[in-house]
């Protein structure tokens, strides 16, 4: 980053890697919860057909899940 002479020699693809732990948009909440538990990470990449879609946080998953359960219990 601080060696400007390397800017033309290194490309982003040289720095990229497929994450060890990731989820798919089609994964169920149960699958996602198990992946968070097994890997111990707080954020996981979302990969769809080999393409990066985004990141999702453990806190967000469980927060939305709790809110959904609370809403369903009132119905």
As given in the structure block, the two tokens for residue 32 are 């996602």
Annotated domain spans of the chain = 18-74
Query: pTM for the whole thing?
Result: 0.73
Asked if CATH classification 3.40.1370.10 holds for the domain at 18-74, the reply, yes or no, is no
Residue-level pLDDT at 23: 97
What is the pLDDT, as a whole number, of residue 75?
66
The pLDDT value recorded for residue 1 is 67
d(C-alpha 9, C-alpha 39), whole Å: 34
Tens of each residue's pLDDT in the chain, 75 residues: 688 888 889 898 898 888 999 999 999 999 999 999 999 999 999 999 999 999 999 999 999 888 988 888 876
């Amino acid at each position: 980053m601080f060696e400007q002479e390397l800017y033309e020699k290194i490309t982003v693809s040289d720095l990229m890697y497929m994450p060890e732990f990731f989820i798919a948009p089609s994964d169920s909440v149960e699958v996602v919860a198990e992946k968070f538990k097994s890997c111990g990470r707080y954020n996981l990449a979302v990969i769809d057909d080999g393409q990066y879609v985004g990141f999702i946080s453990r806190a967000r998953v469980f927060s939305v899940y709790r809110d959904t359960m609370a809403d369903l219990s009132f119905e």
